[in-house]
Chain A
Amino acid sequence: MKFKARHTFFILSVLFLIYTISIYLEPYNLNNNSAKTKNIINGKLVWQKYNCQSCHQLYGLGGYLGPDLTNLMSQQNKGEPLLKAMIKSGNKQMPAFNLSDLEMEELISFLKAADNSGSADPRKFRSNSFGMIEKE
């Protein structure tokens, strides 16, 4: 059993490494314009610095106390003004945060990029014949 087990373990590990490398190559394949994305990348770091993920979600992934913020920037009567007001004054469990002007600008760039990347609204998905969901 040991002999066979070692082979199976080895084969699975090689497949796992190939799969892992294919995922690692994605940023290279996406070929981004670095000057354009600098604010967005820093904005993600602002998001992390203030642990926004603890309460909020992006694409349904994150905390459960506050709303999903993936498409906040394009939502009617919300967007940038609401984001700034919430960060400045807080709401319910959310404390007020003291972001610098640069941090605020970068966070907004990041959330705009998140918004442009797609929709996290489950109503905009339909399941196909395999049971997989696709955007309408």
Chain B
Amino acid sequence: MNLNKINIGNLFLVTAIIMLLVGLCFGILAAFTYLYPNFLKENIGFISLRPLHVSSALFWIILGGTGCVYNGIRSILKIEFSPQIAFIQWCLWIVAIIGIFYSYFTHQFGGREYWEFNPVWALPIAVAWILFIINFSKAITNVKKWPVYVWMWVTGIVFFLFTFSENYLWLFPYFRSHFVTDMTIQWKVNGSLVGSWNQMLYGTAFFLMDRISNSKQVGKNNLAFAMYFLGLFNLMFNWGHHIYTLPTEKYIRYIGYAVSMTEWVFFAKIIYNWKGSLNEIQKNYHYYPYKFIMAADIWVFINMGQAILLSIPAINLYTHGTHITVAHAMGTTIGINSMILIAACFEFLKPNLFKNKTNSKYLNFIFWLLQLSLFIFWISLNIAGIKKGIWQMSENQISYSKMMETLTPYFIIFVIAGFGLLISFFAIAIKLLKNSTNSLIINKF
């Protein structure tokens, strides 16, 4: 096999798309257990389905982000990475994915919140990431003026390794000797880890905007840098908003609260730029991949508004531990991260598909089915969360299982909307993967 001829960025993107499809299937199966409690209970059960779904979705985002960075750097700098290192990196990810899935099916868990798996499989991921850093740093050290998206990629890549390693401090007895501290570190990791892949993907969105608009200015203006540093500041210090009720040190909660409130600046900027954004949408709307960037922008607005409100402790008290948090997590993962990645996949895997023709009715239908399904999905989770929040605060509580039964109508809508997401993502993935072997062969500059 001649590795010099493989487009490694696209290899990562194709793998990511496959993980998206796998994640959607596990997500639907997990959602079914909400309606049919005995569904797959004796085989894999929700305790395996949830991590299977979460990990697959995160593989989609992380491998997709890696593919975008490889493709982006290659296209800006016209530099080839070491294909050998990149290929070993990809192989290590495949080993880790197989190992992680095997451990879920055999019930060997890491048991941590959010992204958990048997810690053994963190090793190939960590080594793969170190190889990624080596390959990436070799390329960018020769560049004199980094546009903002290169800064964002650097941040995402460096912080991923740091927080990913931090995620395994509990293996040392010192760090697990006090469970409140252990939970504090766990949520420090969760907050920053999400922030790190967000940096990789938001960097990709900036890169795509530069490329689509052909301006080369989006990534170089001062405001973009100011927003980047505000994002970095939040990545580092705002995670305390997850743990307001945890009896940890006061300063952690106050720092989390104060830093989260700086996100109002992002929100104000979106509103301030609204008219300009509308003009931009009108100008590029005909270009199919751009629609997903537009959708990501709208979901940023919705989710950021929600995130800021949830970061106010007096409001968080009512929403904490409810499905509103799930709605927020799903809204950002699907609405923002996945929309950016799909736009990037079209741009990198099918660069000529939409250059000279308008969108087909079929693809437009799929786009709107995806947005509508996500909106219904998000609303149903929010309503379920509000109902649970009211239950949590009421003086005369019915039992937990009875309260959950009252949420069944919203879970039914959630599952139906989930099917809408499954169908639309599959339709997009088929379009992207059709004849994708061509996109895996490298095109010389």
Interface residues of chain A, those whose CB is within 8 Å of chain B, are: 1-2, 5, 8-9, 12, 15-16, 19-20, 23-24, 26-28, 30, 32, 34, 37, 40-41, 44-45, 47-55, 57-68, 91-93, 95, 110, 113-114, 117-118, 120, 122-123, 125, 127, 130-133, 135
Is B41 a contact partner of A61 (Cβ separation < 8 A)?
no
Interface residues of chain B, those whose CB is within 8 Å of chain A, are: 33-34, 37-38, 41-42, 45-48, 50-51, 107, 109-113, 116, 144-146, 151, 155, 166, 169, 173-185, 187-188, 220, 222, 225, 229, 232-233, 236-237, 242-247, 249, 252-255, 257, 312-314, 316-318, 320-323, 326, 392-393, 395, 400-401, 404
Closest to A34 in B: B177
Is B257 a contact partner of A131 (Cβ separation < 8 A)?
yes
Is A93 a contact partner of B225 (Cβ separation < 8 A)?
no
Q: Which residues of B contact A59 (CB under 8 A)?
A: 183, 243, 245-247
Query: What distance in Å separates the Cβ of A114 from its nearest Cβ neighbour in chain B?
Result: 7
In Å, the complex CA distance between A125 and B135 comes to: 50
In Å, the complex CA distance between A67 and B399 comes to: 10
Pairs A-B, 10 closest by C-beta atoms: A48-B111, A60-B321, A127-B314, A51-B109, A118-B247, A67-B400, A92-B37, A16-B236, A133-B313, A60-B320
Which listed residue, B33, B176, B237, B323, touches A41 by the CB 8 Å rule? B176
New contact pairs (15) apart from A51-B107, A93-B38, A123-B393, CB-CB < 8 Å: A8-B229, A9-B232, A12-B236, A40-B179, A47-B111, A53-B111, A54-B46, A59-B245, A60-B245, A61-B246, A65-B404, A67-B400, A122-B392, A132-B257, A133-B245
Is A127 a contact partner of B176 (Cβ separation < 8 A)?
no
Q: Which residues of A contact B393 (CB under 8 A)?
A: 122-123
In Å, the complex CA distance between A104 and B187 comes to: 27
Is A23 a contact partner of B184 (Cβ separation < 8 A)?
yes
Asked if A50 meets B145 with Cβ closer than 8 Å, knowing A60-B320, A120-B245, the reply is: no
Is B175 a contact partner of A27 (Cβ separation < 8 A)?
yes
Query: What distance in Å separates the Cβ of B137 from its nearest Cβ neighbour in chain A?
Result: 15
Asked if A51 meets B236 with Cβ closer than 8 Å, knowing A65-B34, A67-B400, A114-B179, the reply is: no
Closest to A113 in B: B179
Is B225 a contact partner of A54 (Cβ separation < 8 A)?
no
Asked if A12 meets B233 with Cβ closer than 8 Å, knowing A51-B116, A61-B243, A117-B180, the reply is: yes
In Å, the complex CA distance between A135 and B51 comes to: 33
Is A127 a contact partner of B185 (Cβ separation < 8 A)?
no
Is A54 a contact partner of B181 (Cβ separation < 8 A)?
no
Is A54 a contact partner of B185 (Cβ separation < 8 A)?
no
Q: Which residues of A contact B110 (CB under 8 A)?
A: 48
Q: Which residues of B contact A67 (CB under 8 A)?
A: 400
Which listed residue, B178, B182, B243, B313, touches A131 by the CB 8 Å rule? B313
Q: Which residues of A contact B400 (CB under 8 A)?
A: 66-67
Query: What distance in Å separates the Cβ of A18 from its nearest Cβ neighbour in chain B?
Result: 11
Q: Which residues of A contact B222 (CB under 8 A)?
A: 1
Q: Which residues of A contact B318 (CB under 8 A)?
A: 122
Is A23 a contact partner of B109 (Cβ separation < 8 A)?
no
Q: Which residues of B contact A2 (CB under 8 A)?
A: 144-146
Query: What distance in Å separates the Cβ of B217 from its nearest Cβ neighbour in chain A?
Result: 13
Is A52 a contact partner of B111 (Cβ separation < 8 A)?
yes
Asked if A1 meets B188 with Cβ closer than 8 Å, knowing A23-B252, A62-B113, A93-B33, the reply is: no
Closest to A133 in B: B313
In Å, the complex CA distance between A45 and B389 comes to: 30
Is B175 a contact partner of A49 (Cβ separation < 8 A)?
no
Is B237 a contact partner of A19 (Cβ separation < 8 A)?
yes
Query: What distance in Å separates the Cβ of A132 from its nearest Cβ neighbour in chain B?
Result: 5
Is A93 a contact partner of B173 (Cβ separation < 8 A)?
no
